[in-house]
Amino acid sequence: MYIEAIKKENSLVLVLKDKKFMDEVSKDYPDDFGSDNVLYEFFEGFIANTEFEWIAPEEIGALTDAPILGVRDESETVIEAYGYMDYAVRSLLEDLRDYGEAVLQKG
């Protein structure tokens, strides 16, 4: 797995575990690296192999366009949600590439 998710009291810290994979993604998408399409593609394996999934803001009454990762219970109710609130000035992928981690705020 190329990303590790660490739950903290009020946040979710995503830690890049495979810098080489990130470098390849960055080279493959030089012009639109921070786009939503690249973000969703990059996170495909993470979503497929963890309890997390993408949550639409309107599902939880959020008034934001921030990328939101969350966890649902067996009845499909969102029980945890974490948003990348710096989305207006940076991308989650840029934080992972440049700092090795990205912090999402618990909502």
pLDDT at site 77: 96
Query: Which residues are paired to 6 by β-bridges?
Result: 13
- Over the chain (107 residues), the average pLDDT of each successive run of 10 is 93 94 85 87 94 96 94 96 94 94 96
- What is the reported pTM? 0.90
Report DSSP letters for 72-86, one per residue.
E-TTS-EEEEEE-TT
Strands (E), the chain: 3-7, 11-16, 53-54, 68-72, 78-83, 101-106
Range of the domain at 28: 3-106
Among candidate residues 86, 88, 102, 107, the one with its CA nearest the CA of residue 43: 102
Q: Based on the structure, what is the number of domains in the chain?
A: 1
CA distance 1 to 99: 18
34 burial class (0-12, 13-18, 19+ CB within 10 angstroms)?
middle
